[in-house]
A and B are shown apart, each in its own frame.
Chain A
């Protein structure tokens, strides 16, 4: 988060400071975002989002229809139905719930429905676990969702509101997931700034606006929605004659989303005085760094605070927090990391038999550079294991030592951080 250099339309004194945990912050953002339909099923550590939002519904503070679905699969199905009927729809889940709705994730994006979902990142079973890692998030990487990872509670609030704007942008029309680490953020209280309701309403341009589509039957363009005045069919069967083109349109929309995420980040900055890097990545002390640590989510704070202390001691270490894993900003990442000597990628989930998912995207970003750093993958924090500052100090020490003696090509590039031997 950067400090305001221009005077925002809503400076801090015009915002309200509240002490909320990450789940409450998301619920509050949804309340202010004029959401028509919420369909959700409880799962730890997401529950506070739906509990808090249920209070808003019970007290008549929102017009939202809350559907108490009987599973996460139905949660996403109901969001798809609601969004298809023209509503702004939201859900929230994680872990097993996300795995159960996996089928519908692809359908939400394939039907180009701008559903927004908060994912309180939690490890996947087995063994069953309720704490945070990114194994749930990684399973939806290729589902066509825009995936934004937040670092703190303020960002969870800010990003949830931004998510609606990004999803519904006429150039995008894709679902967006906002990822906040379970317990580390979902259950951690923080002071944060909340915008007045009208500021959020104005930022989002009021209720959801539908995009127009051309259908051969009608002379005029029509709303992309289930509308008895201009009927259209959604969720059609498309084989090898059309499927490819439809999917490529989705890929292109995801590419356009990069620009939109940047714009929305800037717009948010002008509105609130807060921004998160360029919206896609948030870099700290990268420009002259010899060692860069790439990280996502709540651990970024720990890593950055250690890096700051090491910088004071003259250690040339920088931090690159990836905020948007989809779309992945390959060019920006390459530009930022190409002159670094050594990159350590912190992956909070393993892909047995391969590398961490974030690592793969980082090395893909760098491979075509003439000069490129050595990139090492660290699997850390599985099942909610803490990434302590001590572990980060130890990591940097190892990296420095590695830089001095040089990395042998046969050296293991996937390492574990904080696992008992």
Chain B
């Protein structure tokens, strides 16, 4: 990456400039000091994401794993509206948003264009990666058809879901990614309804069912695990899907300072296990989830996850103990099922 763009602009706003030509992939750096010195985020300072939001962490960490020339696609959502307020942009790489339900289709178009231009000698890069950063609404719900189509066609796109578990951009309405019993503005806690009454869609499992080359889960709290997975997703030949849990302090009713801690607890309680899947390896537990599989005493009760989130506050009332029990049983069942499937889990 050239650090000298043809610009008069101040140094901290450096764009990622890749002049045409062959190049080695950028090395993957695991050392924090080196990362800080040698890499900048593709998301530049000055964006309007909320303080405490972890979506920018997803983008920043992912960009540390980028290999080189990359085009980024975002559907409509928090990330999009907060980073592209005309005439400013926070994106240091070529970036496009077109609509809400079509990030995967837009990415397919870019991928096809890259192939056509390369084939005819008009694109002078040996490789250009296409990466989508999409929220849960644009992935689980309105954008699912386009995502499934892209996966079926096998287009070489890395699709990263930053899952904040509701329509946060429009003001915390429930989505297919909202967990059971969570309060949202369209699943308010009332006298007869305890928040959302359905579980969230197992979106990563659904992508596994598409038999694409790579699927993984991750969180910005487990940054090294996440960076490695992003690089793997870029390296496979074909579509890859990474499900990143990304807390939203506004929507989850979490203290800003705890927005990373809550993600850590999501993994510690096995509410959100870390794993990766490929057709060759099957399911593999990673990072903290692998540690928990090896030492089950590390597994925390679900209350640890619930207790720092206002959206679950009603569950901690004595009369709702039964609901917490139900949730614990659900989490345990999903975790046990994963342990049975993961080839690196102790037998």
Contacts and interface: CB of A to CB of B under 8 A. Distances in A.
Interface string A66-101: 011111011101111111111101000000000000
Interface residues of B, number: 62
B116 A65 contact: yes
A220 interface: yes
Interface stretch (B84-92, B268-276, B295-303): B84-92
Contacts of A63: 116, 119-120
Interface in B103-159: 104-117, 119-120, 122-123, 125, 128, 145-146, 148-149, 152-153, 155
A233 B89 contact: yes
A216 B123 CA distance: 25
A37 B152 contact: no
B108 A69 contact: yes
Contacts of B86: 236-238, 242, 246
Given A70-B146, A70-B148, A85 B71 contact: yes
Given A233-B96, A235-B96, A67 B84 contact: no
Interface in A223-239: 225-239
B102 A77 contact: yes
Interface stretch (A103-111, A171-179, A286-294, A306-314): A103-111
B113 A217 contact: no
Interface string B5-30: 11111000101111110000000000
Nearest to A80: B98
Contacts of B93: 228, 231
Contact of B17 (A69, A79, A229, A236): A229
Contact of A36 (B102, B105, B113): B113
Contacts of A236: 84-87, 89, 97
A36 B121 CA distance: 12
Contact of A65 (B16, B98, B115): B115
Contacts of A232: 89, 94-95
Contacts of A104: 98-99, 102
A226 B94 CA distance: 5
Contacts of B155: 67
B110 A228 contact: no
Nearest to B97: A235
Contacts of B309: none
A37 B149 contact: no
Given A107-B99, A231-B95, A77 B146 contact: yes
Residue picked from A68, A81, A82, A236, most chain B C-beta under 10 Å: A81
Interface string A112-147: 000000000000000000000000000000000000
Contacts of A39: 105, 108-109, 112
B165 interface: no
Contacts of B81: 237
Contacts of B16: 228, 231
B73 interface: yes
A235 B98 contact: yes
A77 B105 contact: yes
Contacts of B80: 237
A111 B104 CA distance: 18
B70 interface: yes
Given A217-B15, A228-B94, 16 more contacts: A67-B155, A68-B153, A69-B149, A75-B105, A77-B105, A83-B113, A103-B99, A225-B94, A228-B17, A228-B128, A229-B17, A229-B20, A231-B15, A233-B91, A234-B96, A236-B97
30 contacts: A36-B113, A36-B120, A37-B109, A37-B113, A64-B116, A67-B155, A73-B105, A74-B104, A77-B99, A80-B98, A80-B106, A81-B108, A81-B113, A82-B116, A84-B98, A107-B99, A217-B13, A219-B7, A227-B94, A228-B17, A228-B18, A228-B69, A228-B125, A231-B16, A233-B95, A236-B86, A236-B97, A237-B81, A237-B85, A242-B87
